[in-house]
Homo-oligomer: A and B are copies of this chain.
Amino acid sequence: MPGPNGQIDILAHEAYTKFLEELPRTGPGTMAGEMLRRYWHPVYLSSDLKDIPVATTMLGEDLVLFRDAEGRPGLLGLKCSHRGASLEYGQIRENGIMCSYHGWTYDARGRCIEMPLEPPDSRFKEKIQHPWYPATEWGGFIWAYMGPDKENPPPLPEIDVLARTDGEIILSSGDVRNYNYLNWLENFADMGHAFILHSLIRTDVPDELKPYNESTIKSWIPAQLEFVETDYGMKTVAVWDTGEPEIKFVNTWSIARPTYWRFSGITAGLPPDFTDDRREAGGMLRIIDDTHFEIFRFTLFRKGNYKGTIVPSRTTSQQRGLPPDLRGRVEKKGYDNRKYPAWEGIPTVEDLVMQESQGAVLDRSAEHLGTSDRGVILLRRIWRKAMEDVASGREPKGISRLEREMLEVDTFHGHIKAVELEIGPRNLPSSLNGRGLIRDRSGKLVFE
């Protein structure tokens, strides 16, 4: 006869299995989808939204994004409330958007303000409430809030890199993936993979790109790889031994709720070299539906920290789907018939291939997680807590703030004295105004 402990285990196992099924969902009414709706989400590059409405899908809902004649963004249900024609083909009007079929016009709050074919004294339009979501513009993006209490949404947090004014920021969009966003995010929370996957053809690295101290990092695997929950989400901290016992080399990667991530440098996951150009890079995921998401990337270039040619102003690349030249660095063999032949050698391509090959929605019940999967497990714990908080009527992590705040995340990348290294939830020096980003072996900022 099974005792109470046995019963609890079975129940816990069932609850966990159910959680793993709920975890990747994004639609309305799902536990994870409702949690995600408590956060602001990026929808579109500001500079790409002009005088043509754009059909878009966010968290599984079909929407139309537009600017009215005054330039104010609006985000409405895609199909007209009258007879279901798509507002993607609507006409921009002074205070809103007009359906081209019969002229029903909506403002950004979903109010119907015009029905030209109805009698002039008709009050029918007062009965129409078209679906709408608050949309706002900041930092080069249009943002949406799709949760409850739409008239009074939480403040939009500022993203540290996007708030910066001490460099050129390059934004890019259009990299749409055909699998669940968590395949991507769990990859980022799991930096152990970098030392296998991104080292597959390391032997090809030229001498001048070799690591700081080859003798101590034979395996490329850091001496310490820690996963820490923070106020904004979680961070990964890697610590390498150097040739001097009292000096460590440290690198960090951060994920802020819900889908903002930061590198500490463009070659962030890789061993500490000082020959690399220094770019401050991060991005956000736009969650389209359960099996699609888009990657928005941003990179800040400060004067003198990049040796290549910088595109001189903020640019946008509205590519559709994957870049056509996305391929690895090795030579393709004639008998390589895979979808991605000769894919090894470029971390972005390597990640894409692994993530996509996990399937549109990963079957987590078939996984076998080890101690090296602590990052994935931490990310899921944070997600689960937030899902349960929302299901219980509480605000999830990172939402309770009353005032608008800066989403300032750890970005330490460089040397530090062993006695000064303390790995915990407190921020390592962040990139705000360039603080903390890249440090030389005495711990001093390389650029200030």
Binding site for B on A (CB under 8 A): 48, 50-52, 54-55, 79, 81-86, 88-89, 91, 100-103, 115-119, 122, 124, 127-128, 186, 192-193, 195-197, 200, 219, 221, 318, 320, 333, 335-338, 340, 343-344, 350, 353-354, 357-359, 362-363, 366-373, 376
Residues in B neighbouring A363, C-beta threshold 8 A: 79, 84
* Pairwise interchain contact A89-B335, C-beta atoms closer than 8 A: no
What residue in chain B is nearest A351 (Cβ atoms)?
Answer: B101
B366 touches A81 (CB 8 A): yes
Out of B85, B116, B370, name the residue touching A118 (CB < 8 Å).
B370
Closest to A91 in B: B200
A193 to B80, CA, bound (A): 14
- Known: A50-B335, A52-B335, A79-B366. Contact between A197 and B88, CB under 8 A? no
Which of A195, A320, A370, A373 has its CB near the most chain B CB atoms (within 10 A)?
A370
Alpha-carbon distance between A320 and B339 when the two chains are bound, in angstroms: 13
Bound state CA distance, A368 and B370, in angstroms? Answer: 56
Report whether A119 and B371 are in contact in the complex, using a CB–CB cutoff of 8 Å.
yes
- In the complex, are the beta carbons of A196 and B116 less than 8 A apart? yes
On whether the beta carbons of A370 and B124 are closer than 8 Å, the reply is yes
Q: Which residue of B lies closest to A83 (CB)?
A: B367
* A366–B79 CA distance with the chains assembled, in angstroms: 9
- Once the chains are docked, how many angstroms separate the CA of A396 from the CA of B48? 54
Q: Are A359 and B118 in contact (CB under 8 A)?
A: no
Each complex incorporates copies of this chain amounting to 3
In the complex, the chain B residue whose C-beta lies closest to that of A127 is B368
Q: Give 18 CB contacts A-B under 8 Å.
A: A50-B335, A54-B337, A81-B366, A81-B367, A83-B186, A84-B358, A85-B357, A86-B357, A89-B354, A100-B197, A101-B193, A101-B196, A116-B221, A117-B195, A117-B196, A119-B371, A122-B371, A127-B368
In-complex Cβ contact of A362 among B84, B91, B195, B196 (8 A): B84
Q: Which residues of B contact A52 (CB under 8 A)?
A: 333, 335-336, 338
Residues of B within 8 A of A344 (CB): 100
Q: Which residue of B lies closest to A366 (CB)?
A: B84
Whether A118 lies near B84 (C-beta < 8 A) is no
Contact status B337-A100, CB under 8 Å: no
* Contact (Cβ within 8 A) B362 A83: yes
A196-B103, A197-B102, A371-B119 known; A55-B338 Cβ under 8 A: yes
Name the one of B48, B200, B368 contacting A100, with C-beta atoms under 8 angstroms. B200
Give the docked Cα–Cα distance between A51 and B369 (Å): 29
Q: Given the complex of chains A and B, what is the CA–CA distance between A369 and B353 in angstroms? A: 49
A85:B358 contact, CB within 8 angstroms: yes
A127 surroundings in chain B (CB, below 8 A): 368
Q: A102-B196, A193-B102 are in contact. Are A338 and B89 (CB under 8 A)?
A: yes
Is B55 in contact with A88, judged by CB distance below 8 angstroms? no
Bound complex: CA A119 to CA B372 (Å): 8
Say yes or no: A370 contacts B79, CB within 8 Å: no
Residues in chain B near residue A373, CB distance under 8 A: 83
Q: Is the CB of A197 within 8 A of B84?
A: no
A398 to B193, CA, bound (A): 48
A219 to B117 CA separation, bound complex (whole angstroms): 10
Taking a contact as CB atoms under 8 Å apart, the answer to whether A338 and B101 are in contact is no
CA A9 to CA B186, docked complex, whole Å:
53
The 3 A-B pairs of least Cβ separation, nearest first, read: A86-B357, A117-B372, A103-B196
Q: Is the CB of B115 within 8 A of A82?
A: no
